[in-house]
Amino acid sequence: MAEHESHQSNDSPLLETVSLFQGLAPAERQEVYQAAHHRAVEKGELFFVQGEEAHTLYVLTQGRVRLNQLSPEGEQVLLRVIVPGQLFGGVAVLSGTAYPAAAEAVVPSEALGWDGETMARLMERYPAIARNALRLLAERIQELQERYRELATERVERRVASAVLRLARQTGRKVEGGILIDFPLSREDLAAMTGTTLYTVSRILKRWEKEGLVEAGRQRLLIRSPHGLVALAEDLPPALEAPS
Amino acid sequence: MAEHESHQSNDSPLLETVSLFQGLAPAERQEVYQAAHHRAVEKGELFFVQGEEAHTLYVLTQGRVRLNQLSPEGEQVLLRVIVPGQLFGGVAVLSGTAYPAAAEAVVPSEALGWDGETMARLMERYPAIARNALRLLAERIQELQERYRELATERVERRVASAVLRLARQTGRKVEGGILIDFPLSREDLAAMTGTTLYTVSRILKRWEKEGLVEAGRQRLLIRSPHGLVALAEDLPPALEAPS
DNA sequence: CGCTATTTTGAGATGGCTCAAGCTATGTGG
DNA sequence: CCACATAGCTTGAGCCATCTCAAAATAGCG
């Protein structure tokens, strides 16, 4: 029957953990799931491009997606990295405008999509979805405001430290020796997240490596000492090795 | 009876223009209005402080309010300026967290306030309010993202130009000779909006004044040539005087 | 095994910050 | 109504964090 070739179920076990659908009964989630269409994109491909009229709101189910915003002059900013369970494209759909950024899969990725009208209908029927959406957007605003302040008032090294920690929290995988950022992340990506250049990021990572804070490879970042980075991000006195 | 000493009505003519309540019938707006309480604060006073648990969502009816975010290190960022009709404090109430910024009246100001539960109840009853709120938040996110990119990729002068233009659009008053920013705005305020220092802003304004773009006084800014500023903000070739 | 993307490193330039000092409106109390 | 206090603004000089540009090293990938 109408069955997607999904990974491990024809049910909506995945949606259980999606905060947009929190508070729905299983049967309701099932209905929401039925209304979705499934989309898979290759590494490097886009779910949507910046400027395209927004039609679909996605929830990522597999992979990692970057939201890039391009300035009129062609400079890129990496607004955020989406991990499974998170919403993307929603802002544009809800405000009825064009996508303000492009969504690029950094690894092979899959998502569920609902077009604007469908989602409006679902929200109508299940106000909990609208409430959740409000809460999610409000949280996004708070985070954005904080990052805005960070960018406005803090030096590069600290911004990079914050960005790395944020990534670690979002998409870090515990491995022996530390926390590994779980997708290919280049110096240039980090630069685009923090408003600096890839050269400066490279130098900073080298320095951190010397200090034993991280282990940085080609598109790879292992955080050996989250504490050390937190200290940097918050400008604590650089943690003495052996307090007397 | 229970009548506020409001400026010119016991009705809700004001709410008509508030986008949060767009789409409500007059009677419904009336009910919304009944549920509000009225609050006036003096110049320099705060509607709420940063970190305070969020209880009330406001719509400004009179005056101008600044939303300031303070960094842990004590540096200030001016996130936005609220003009009558706009919502503030809503993000914190909707996400159920503490206010992420302080709201300071830059001139004597008045607002209508609803506490979180009341607003939740109203949204329940009138889904249009929830829809409007979603749209408003989505628009805020878009604006913030854009400003984030601006801060990340553009030089100070251009950022200041953009900030001034934004203010002019929001709260500019046409007067003879140009557009006047309609509330006291210091060099330091502009610096806090654009992530720079008051010294740099001062120099930039002086330069613009020499070029005839603006007229800058003590906490006063008159834009003589919006076009010139737009050119700066967008890095067009600096508008030739007389194209041959 | 060679090609290409990524990263490192150096050297030099500079935009904007910092600090210090003086200036000037504005409002206030005598 | 004046003189003074104050908050806001200007200006200079020096510095430095970060950017730029150039070039070489490295690592994957096909």
Band of the pLDDT at B141, cuts 50, 70, 90? very high
> What DSSP assignment string belongs to B198-236?
HHHHHHHHHHHHHTTSEEEETTEEEES-HHHHHHHHHT-
Residue B199, CA: closest nucleotide via C1'?
Answer: D10
Considering the four listed CATH numbers 1.10.1740.10, 2.60.120.10, 2.40.70.10, 3.40.50.2000, the one that applies to the domain covering A15-152 is 2.60.120.10
Question: How far is Cα A76 from Cα B209, in angstroms, rounded to an integer?
Answer: 32
B236 near A CB under 8 A: no
pLDDT at A13: 63
Phi and psi angles of residue A24, each rounded to the nearest 5 degrees, phi first: -90, 150
Is pLDDT of B230 > 90? Answer: yes
Contact across the interface for B91 and A138, Cβ inside 8 Å: yes
CB proximity B117 to A under 8 Å: no
Nucleotides on chain C that have an atom closer than 7 A to a protein CB are: 6-11, 15-20, 25-26
**What is the rounded distance in angstroms from the CA atom of residue A185 to the CA atom of residue A167?**
10
The answer to whether A194 contacts B152, with C-beta atoms less than 8 Å apart, is: yes
pLDDT in tens, B65-74: 999 999 988 8
What are the start-end ranges of the E strands in B35-145?
A: 37-41, 46-48, 56-62, 65-70, 76-82, 87-88, 102-105, 109-115
Which nucleotides of strand D lie under 7 Å from a protein CB? Answer: 8-13, 17-22, 27-28
B131 contacts A127? CB cut-off 8 A: no
Choose which CATH entry (2.60.120.10, 3.10.310.30, 3.40.50.1950, 1.10.10.10) describes domain A155-234: 1.10.10.10
Please tell me the predicted confidence (pLDDT) of residue B13.
Answer: 63
Q: How far is CA B227 from CA A123, B40, B93, B206, in A?
A: 43, 37, 39, 18
Nearest CB to B149; choose among A77, A138, A142: A77
Nucleotide closest to B186 measured between CA and C1':
D8
pLDDT confidence of residue B237: 58
Q: What is the CATH number of domain B14-152?
A: 2.60.120.10
Q: Any residues with CB less than 8 A from the CB of B49 and at least 6 apart, and which?
A: B99, B102
What is the structure's pLDDT at A17? 86
Mean pLDDT over B11-36 rounds to 87
Tell whether A145 is within 8 A of chain B (Cβ): yes
Residues 6+ away with beta carbon under 8 Å from A34:
none
pLDDT tens, position by position, B88-139:
999 999 999 999 999 999 999 999 999 999 999 999 999 999 999 999 999 9
Domain ranges in chain A? Answer: 15-152, 155-234
Region class of B51: left (phi > 0), else alpha (psi between -120 and 50), else beta: left
Query: Rounded distance, CA B98 to CA B70, Å?
Result: 14
- Interchain contact, B140 vs A139, CB within 8 Å: no
What pLDDT does A171 receive? 95
Output the pLDDT for position A244. 34
Per-residue model confidence (pLDDT) at position B238:
52
- Is the confidence at residue B3, as pLDDT, over 50? no
Q: What is the pLDDT of residues A186-210, one digit of tens each?
A: 999 999 999 999 999 999 999 999 9
Say yes or no: Cβ of A158 under 7 A from any atom of strand C.
no
Residues with Cβ within 8 Å of B137's Cβ and at least 6 positions away in sequence, in order, are A94, A134, A137, A138, A141, B90, B91, B94
Which parts of chain A sit beneath pLDDT 70? 1-13, 236-244
Least confident of A236-240, B158-162, B164-168: A236-240
Determine whether the interchain pair A145/B90 forms a contact, defined as Cβ–Cβ distance below 8 Å: no
pLDDT of A186 reads: 98
Say how many Å lie between the first and final Cα of chain B, rounded. Answer: 71
Q: What is the CATH number of domain B156-234?
A: 1.10.10.10
Which of A78, A101, A90, A94 lies closest to A183 in space, CA to CA? A78
**DSSP codes of every residue in A170-201:** HHEEEETTEEEESS---HHHHHHHHTS-HHHH
Helix-strand-coil percent breakdown of chain B, rounded to 5? 45, 25, 35
For A74, the closest chain B residue by CA position comes to B153
Residue that wins the pLDDT comparison between B228 and A11: B228
Name every chain B residue with its beta carbon within 8 A of the beta carbon of A122.
none
**Nearest protein residue to the C1' atom of C24, measured from CA:** B218
Query: Residue A241 has what pLDDT?
Result: 44
Classify B214 in phi/psi space as left (phi over 0), alpha (psi -120 to 50) or beta: beta
